[in-house]
Amino acid sequence: MKDPRVPVTVLTGFLGSGKTTLLNRILSEEHGQRIAVIENEYGEVGIDDALVYDSEEEIFEMNNGCICCTVRGDLIRILTTLMRRRDKFDRILIETTGLADPAPVAQTFFVDPDVRAKLRLDAIITMVDARHVLDHLNEEKPDGVENEAVEQVAFADRLILNKTDLVTADGLAAVTERLRGINALAEILPADHAKVDLAAILDVGAFDLDRVLEADPAFLTELDHQHDLSVTSVGIELPGEVDGDRLDAWLSVLLREKGTDIFRSKGILNLAGSSRRYVFQGVHMLFDGSDGRPWEQDEERMNKLVFIGRHLDRGALEAGFAACLDGAAA
């Protein structure tokens, strides 16, 4: 018999792996399904909601904390609230922050009786950045500190090997071998720009609790984990118009000199002379910008930026961006 519970897909992957790009593909394709989306951001300033296409789907944000620890209670509350509107959607998709360990998220669907009765965890889909993943997987962490990138790969039911267009065939083979060494069972789906067959990731019934318990008998009882405290987030919110030339010059120098430690950068900016939002996104030294949707007529044109990385200098970042605003001293 078909399971009457609502299927839930958890979309995870390290910072900049392409989760939001895949989410946009899911929301924009004509698959005929109504999807409720829960987004979890790591940082003081919310950006991701503005990066998701306008759609008729229900979208809930969870800010200021990692879904696998400090806001896990919020996840249960949102799921409970969603189920009161069961007639509005067919499935739920949870996009975690890039620093989340998916195991505690998965536990939610088994340790809370009400959640377990109404929802089923369909699959954990992990996005992998083929260009940068080895650096994160091979990083040595202090004793007792988790390597989230390893946890995300190890816990995946499907691995989407994204950005294959940015690596050589030999590089791709090395990444695939490393992934297989961590998780020999998950199907690996190569992709560029998150182009993947949705039938391979949605409603696949891939999560198997018995298999997880066989590999980790303490899965349902281990609740404590520790993040790398050297990784922090700096959020910036400032009004004003941004000089595009100054912005390009600042970001180029910043990412060239500090890009190794800046895992992720993203922003929604008010460029001088433009009626549209300017959206920029970066992963380490790579960054790209493009025009987003038009500003609303009565909307405050606030610049919002987020940097996530190691040993970030808040003062320098705030001063550097402030110098890009029109009217700032050159």
The predicted pLDDT at position 223 comes to: 56
In SS3 terms, the chain reads as CCCCCEEEEEEEECCCCCHHHHHHHHHHCCCCCCEEEEEECCCCCCCHHHHCCCCCCEEEEECCCCCCCCCHHHHHHHHHHHHCCHHHCCEEEEECCCCCCHHHHHHHHHHCHHHHHHEEEEEEEEEEECCCHHHHHCCCCCCCCCCHHHHHHHCCCEEEEECHHHCCHHHHHHHHHHHHHHCCCCEEEECCCCCCCHHHCCCCCCCCHHHHHHHCCCCCCCCCCCCCCCEEEEEEEEECCECHHHHHHHHHHHHHHHCCCEEEEEEEECECCCCEEEEEEEECCEEEEEEEEECCCCCCCEEEEEEEEECCCHHHHHHHHHCCECCCCC
The predicted pLDDT at position 317 comes to: 93
Give the separation between CA 52 and CA 4, rounded to whole angstroms.
29
* Token representation of residue 233: 């987030």
The predicted pLDDT at position 224 comes to: 55
What is the Cα 22 distance to its own chain's centre?
Answer: 10
User: Cβ distance 176 to 188 under 8 Å?
Assistant: yes
The predicted pLDDT at position 6 comes to: 92
**Architecture of the domain defined by 6-215:** 3-Layer(aba) Sandwich (3.40)
pTM of the model: 0.69
User: Cβ distance 278 to 268 under 8 Å?
Assistant: yes
Looking at CATH, the fold of the domain delimited by 231-322 is given as Hypothetical Protein Yjia; Chain: A;domain 2 (3.30.1220)
Q: Are strands 158-162 and 35-40 parallel, antiparallel or unpaired?
A: unpaired
All CATH 3.30.1220.10 domain ranges in the chain, comma separated: 231-322
The predicted pLDDT at position 163 comes to: 93
The predicted pLDDT at position 105 comes to: 81
All CATH 3.40.50.300 domain ranges in the chain, comma separated: 6-215
Give the separation between CA 94 and CA 76, rounded to whole angstroms.
12
Residues of the chain with pLDDT under 50: 44-71
The predicted pLDDT at position 324 comes to: 93
The predicted pLDDT at position 123 comes to: 93
User: Cβ distance 271 to 246 under 8 Å?
Assistant: no
